[in-house]
Amino acid sequence: MGFLNTKIIFRFLGITAILNGLFMFIAFPLSLFHDEVARWGILNAGIITVFIGLLLYFFNKPTNTNIQKKEGYLIVTLGWLTLSITGMLPYLLSGAIPNLTNAFFETLSGYSTTGSSILTDIEGMPKGILFWRSITHWIGGMGIIVLTIAILPLLGIGGMQLFMAEAPGPSADKLHPRITDTAKRLYLIYVVLTFVQFFLLKIAGMTWFDAINHAMATVSTGGFSTKADSIAFYNGQPLIQYIIIVFMFIAGTNFVLTYFALKGKVQKVFQSEEFKYYFFGVLSISAIVALVILFSQDPNLETTLAHPKVLGETESAIRHSLFMVISVVTTTGFVTADFTMWSFFATGIFFALFFTGGSAGSTSGGIKVVRHIVMLKNSFLEFKKALHPNAIIPVRYDGKTVNQTIVFNILSFFIIYMLIFIIASVILTFLGLDFISALGAAASSLGNIGPAIGSVSPVDNFAHLSNAAKWFCSFLMLIGRLELFTVLILFTPFFWRKN
């Protein structure tokens, strides 16, 4: 590993651990206020994490502070693992989740903003632990790596390679030419959205504790709730659900467009081809699902979550369909009802949505809308080329020609994504899941969605999976969160060659 700048890698992991530990200290006062036994576990976890970070930081002083691509990929992947390994300490030391496998799964599910859970009694958990659980979402949503980029100049370290590894999507838009200023603007938007939603949810009737937790889980498109029934707990309070619908949609939108909208440049938002597909796609699919709810299901059907048909109103059907479609498309994972009970047709629609994802440059997981647009356009052009083999017809996106290299990259991403999904589904059947549940768990974990189908449906969770299945789903969540290439490139032999 002499060809890698290991000191800069370990120093960065030290910074990551220090920041993670400081976030743990935020959860401690809340737990102390409620006089919870878990408070000392949270405090000790923060102290240990900061201490580990300080050791890594001060004992690794690099002479060369340049970060090359290889270091960037390693730092991002190892940084996420550092977050997850240290982040599970509050669960373990407090005794809230004493099992190592479960604690790691819950932690990585938080940082990857997947929202899959192994907890069966959420309301019975200490408030300090639930708050920490939501913080892991909030950290992972934008990426603590981007946060660290904003302070790296103070340490004499440049961060462009890290940003490229952390956000490897096809969108190259920047808010500002300097990467540190970009990171600061992204986080400012992130913080503002979180606090605006927090205040709106509080006004709408949530307690302040539930409001801040749900705000962090929404803006990060994470989906951890403080209620076992998720947002179905608030089925009698439509305003709360509409607020979450709006902020899930915003969180699934490219943050660059959000920035332009806040600056008053709304025309830039509606000029975006991806946004138009995202906006009208969500509306049209929601309309279809609403019609399914109203006309194509058993009127006597009920679930443990309040069912739209039982509520018996057109508004309710529209709200539930809109909520669930946006929740799945943005990979947030909140639920107001069990969509697997709305008919096989509705279940098929939602399973297809597992493979969409939100916008590039958002906190959403999944394949992303822009990739689908480019793939579809390229496919239609192949039909034209079949008729006119000598014609040179480039793929155009937002009125500009897309470089062929980017098209190949997107096609490669999709092929690898689907290949991993197929292989993962087979492996999960080997690890004990039935076929439908294996498909759901694989798609949900890889797309960072949360609720799935089968035994991991919106009314179930991942607690019943074997330890091996939980570790495997954790791996899927990690590579899905970092968009495949960032992690998988580490398993290639040419990555470890000197040249």
pLDDT of 315 reads 84
Q: How confident is the model at residue 470 (pLDDT cuts 50, 70, 90)?
A: very high
Q: How confident is the model at residue 464 (pLDDT cuts 50, 70, 90)?
A: very high
Q: Which two tokens stand for residue 451?
A: 């609720």
pLDDT of 311 reads 46
User: Full-prediction pTM beyond 0.85?
Assistant: yes
Residue in the structure block whose two tokens are 């960032």? 486
Residue in the structure block whose two tokens are 């992130």? 190
Mean per-residue pLDDT over the chain, rounded: 86
pLDDT of 389 reads 77
State yes or no: pLDDT of 419 exceeds 70.
yes
Q: CA-CA distances (angstroms) from residue 291 to 287, 308, 316, 409?
A: 6, 12, 12, 38
Read off the DSSP letter of residue 162. H
Helix (H, G, I), strand (E, B) or coil at 329: helix
State yes or no: pLDDT of 164 exceeds 70.
no
What is the chain's length?
A: 499
Q: How far apart are CA 183 and CA 71, in angstroms?
A: 19
11 near 56, Cβ under 8 Å? yes
pLDDT of 23 reads 94
Q: How confident is the model at residue 303 (pLDDT cuts 50, 70, 90)?
A: very low
* DSSP per residue, 204-245: HT--HHHHHHHHHHHHTT----SSTTGGGGGTT-HHHHHHHH
Q: CA-CA distances (angstroms) from residue 49 to 19, 147, 244, 275, 297?
A: 9, 18, 33, 40, 52
State yes or no: pLDDT of 295 exceeds 60.
yes
Q: Which of 190, 197, 184 is nearest to 151 (CA)?
A: 184
pLDDT tens string 353-382: 999 988 887 888 889 898 899 899 998 888
pLDDT of 175 reads 56
pLDDT of 327 reads 95
pLDDT of 297 reads 57
State yes or no: pLDDT of 168 exceeds 60.
no
pLDDT tens string 378-401: 988 888 888 877 777 888 888 888
